[in-house]
Amino acid sequence: MMKNCSTCGELQPATSEYFYKCEHTKSGLRAQCKKCHKQYDKAKRKEYNNQYYHANKELFKKYNETYRKKKAIAQYINNGV
């Protein structure tokens, strides 16, 4: 049996080798092929990371400042001044 991917439209064998398994569909396989699902996953993760970064921008900034200060102090101590 062959199956069309809902995203790229490519006809591929309806096996777990080409499609991820999914309990909620009739065929037991996802509508997206593995290739498309991976791409989708990657894009989603990137988007999530971006959102996370923007939501916590101030936190990251503060963290970086603290880190820099700590590093400066450590260097100061290491130099034995």
Is 73 an interacting residue with respect to Zn ion (CB under 5 A)? Answer: no
Q: Which two tokens stand for residue 28?
A: 């037991």
Q: Which is nearer to Zn ion, 4 or 64 (CB)?
A: 4
Helices of type H across the chain:
34-55, 57-78
Q: Which two tokens stand for residue 62?
A: 């503060």
Q: Which is nearer to Zn ion, 6 or 75 (CB)?
A: 6
Contact by Cβ (8 Å): 53, 60: yes
Binding-residue pattern over the window 18 to 37 for Zn ion, x denoting contact by CB under 5 A: ---------------x--x-
Residues contributing to the site for Zn ion (CB under 5 A): 5, 7-8, 33, 36
